[in-house]
């Protein structure tokens, strides 16, 4: 037990750039390494939390560079700010959904997630911190606004001068009156997954000589979770999980599970020797990509198919109450909700907007087009959960992914859908482009065979809290139901990322096997014409197409 030490109050000055974005505060590592930068933000969080003294917190991250050092600082500051108990994943590792589950299971006051999610890592990469509240979900805007305001006027922070806790040893470490418990990062999460899915059916599938799969953990936090659950518990062949050891720089991999950054996995899913099933997850384990032999499942379709097959999954059979999707996500889930007779809610981008709906029991499944899918089992999106859900569907239907897609489209129609990302744009140029998109008059304009029937800047009123949110993306909807959405991402750390979302509905089964980019060709050309992307930015093509 460490000797009792009096908290030190350290004088400091504000930083102007500590406004949390869609998923917390994300900056280059070198920014967080500035003297007092990390401490200022953490103290601003504690200054924003009422009645936190004597409470329990959960802390963990994706293992990226600066993760362990930041945890030691947070532990000493939590002690100085009166936190009584802290749960930390061994080696500082916890996936984002695992943090959410631990907060809920232990009825903790909240938790810190240390990650920049799908952003690159390493000494010259990115770092991030997000605070999650007592329901296990991201802090709402009302709290993040308060944190930012406190960061702008901070003059001191509290910290205890004490030796580091050994994060590599399961057990307890005492900092004054604060008990720090180092726990197995996987065990509780694995137990939760077994309570939701038919592990025997999945195990039989994974052990079948006729079924081959690969899970790419991208040298990130999901590796230990996937190896334990897929290989140890379910009996998948050793080596099914690749890039399974979390590395501080992700081994040079950009840990974003999409066709561009998971190119090796995509290649293994193509051609005559393609694997039957492929999946990948991101830096902190909350995103996923699903692939079949010569088949790519868009995140939008994945959400819709998950909801349509709830009756096959033990943890969800008979209890579909509703579906929620972010506004840029395709409307495929809307069609499932309508057929099932349940509501479908359209929210702004950001998992925090699903929290009130989940807590109120109004929805069972949630999804975002940015490779995020989840349910009411936690209050975060959950990459490995989505993979297990798909394996459970495959185990029950014994159909290949391509056939599941084809049958779904035949039943509900196909939403041809794609996202085009223009990364690291000049911020002023990107803001001017969005301003002009918002202010120009497009309603009623005719473009070829299409007429604009709606042109707006998406706004949302939470049906539970009544909190209003505006400025969430420019929508252009046409008379045939096709639409395009323009939005600036809130997850980058340098420059601006413009995301252009394109969608059109195809009800005819005979026209549902066209290449997606060919099917959307007219909309792609039109989106560039309306926005003037090439003329304004000099970019002739997107950096990433998903």
Catalytic residue set: 117
State how far the alpha carbon of 365 is from the alpha carbons of 8, 101, 210, in Å.
46, 16, 31
In contact, 452 and 478? CB cutoff 8 Å: yes
- A 10 A CB-CB count for 233 gives 15
Task: Kindly give the pairing relationship between strand 446-447 and strand 450-457.
Answer: antiparallel
- A 10 A CB-CB count for 69 gives 15
**What backbone phi and psi angles, to 5 degrees, belong to 196?**
-100, -35
- A 10 A CB-CB count for 127 gives 29
Alpha helix (H) residue ranges in 415-473:
427-439
- A 10 A CB-CB count for 526 gives 19
- A 10 A CB-CB count for 235 gives 16
CA distance 106 to 413: 43
Buried b (16+ CB within 10 A) or exposed e, 474-508: bbbbbeeebbbbbbbbebbbeebbbbbbbbbbbee
- A 10 A CB-CB count for 450 gives 19
CA distance 196 to 313: 7
Tell me the sheet residues that pair with 56. Answer: 85
State how far the alpha carbon of 418 is from the alpha carbons of 296, 485, 507, 519, 525, in Å.
12, 11, 17, 10, 13
Give me 146's structure tokens: 């308060």
Give me 454's structure tokens: 């709606």
CA distance 101 to 225: 14
In contact, 357 and 324? CB cutoff 8 Å: yes
Task: Kindly give the pairing relationship between strand 288-292 and strand 295-297.
Answer: antiparallel
CA distance 211 to 158: 55
Residue 525 C-alpha from the chain's centroid: 29
In contact, 8 and 161? CB cutoff 8 Å: yes
In contact, 526 and 502? CB cutoff 8 Å: no
């Amino acid at each position: 037990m460490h000797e009792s030490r009096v908290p030190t109050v350290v004088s400091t000055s504000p930083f102007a750039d500590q406004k949390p974005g869609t998923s917390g505060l994300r900056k280059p590592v070198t920014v967080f390494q500035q003297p007092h930068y990390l401490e200022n933000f953490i103290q601003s969080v504690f200054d924003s939390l009422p009645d936190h003294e004597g409470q329990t917190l959960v802390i963990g991250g994706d293992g990226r560079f600066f993760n362990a050092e930041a945890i030691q600082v947070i532990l000493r500051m939590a002690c100085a700010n009166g936190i009584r108990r802290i749960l930390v994943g061994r080696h500082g590792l916890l996936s984002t959904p695992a943090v959410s589950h631990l907060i809920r299971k232990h009825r903790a006051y909240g938790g810190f997630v240390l990650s920049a999610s799908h952003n690159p890592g390493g000494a010259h990469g990115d770092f991030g911190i997000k605070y999650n509240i007592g329901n296990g979900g991201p802090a709402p805007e009302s709290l993040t606004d308060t944190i930012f305001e406190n960061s702008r006027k901070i003059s001191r922070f509290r910290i205890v001068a004490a030796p580091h806790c050994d994060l590599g040893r399961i057990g307890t470490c005492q900092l004054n009156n604060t008990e720090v418990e180092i726990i197995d990062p996987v065990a509780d999460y694995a137990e939760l997954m077994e309570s939701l899915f038919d592990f025997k059916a999945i195990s039989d599938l994974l052990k079948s000589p006729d079924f081959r799969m690969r899970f790419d953990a991208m040298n990130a936090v999901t590796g230990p979770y996937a190896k334990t659950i897929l290989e140890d518990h379910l009996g998948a062949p050793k080596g099914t999980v690749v890039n399974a050891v979390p590395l501080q720089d992700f081994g040079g991999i950009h840990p974003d599970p999409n066709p561009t950054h998971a190119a090796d996995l995509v290649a293994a899913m193509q051609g005559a020797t393609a694997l039957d099933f492929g999946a990948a997850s991101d830096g902190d384990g909350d995103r996923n990509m699903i692939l079949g032999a010569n088949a790519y499942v868009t995140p939008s379709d994945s959400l819709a198919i998950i909801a349509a097959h709830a009756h096959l999954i033990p943890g969800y059979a008979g209890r579909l109450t509703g579906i929620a999707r972010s506004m840029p996500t395709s409307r495929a889930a809307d069609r499932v909700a309508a057929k099932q007779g349940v509501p479908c809610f359209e929210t702004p981008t950001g998992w925090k907007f699903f929290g009130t709906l989940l807590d109120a029991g109004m929805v069972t499944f949630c999804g975002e087009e940015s490779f995020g899918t989840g349910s009411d089992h936690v209050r975060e999106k959950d990459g490995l959960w989505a993979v297990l859900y798909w394996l459970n569907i495959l185990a029950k239907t014994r159909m290949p992914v391509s056939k599941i897609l084809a049958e779904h489209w035949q039943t509900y129609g196909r939403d041809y859908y794609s996202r085009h990302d223009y990364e690291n744009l000049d911020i002023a140029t990107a803001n001017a482009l969005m301003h002009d998109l918002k202010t120009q008059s497009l309603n009623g304009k005719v473009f070829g065979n299409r007429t604009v029937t709606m042109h707006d800047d998406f706004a949302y009123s939470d049906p539970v809290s009544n909190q209003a949110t505006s400025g969430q993306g420019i929508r252009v909807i046409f008379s045939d139901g096709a639409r395009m959405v323009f939005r600036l991402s809130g997850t980058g750390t340098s420059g601006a990322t413009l995301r252009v979302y394109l969608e059109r509905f195809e009800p005819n089964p005979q026209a549902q096997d066209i290449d997606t980019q060919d099917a959307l060709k007219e909309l792609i050309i039109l989106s560039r014409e309306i926005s003037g992307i090439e003329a304004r930015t000099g970019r002739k093509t997107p950096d990433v197409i998903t």
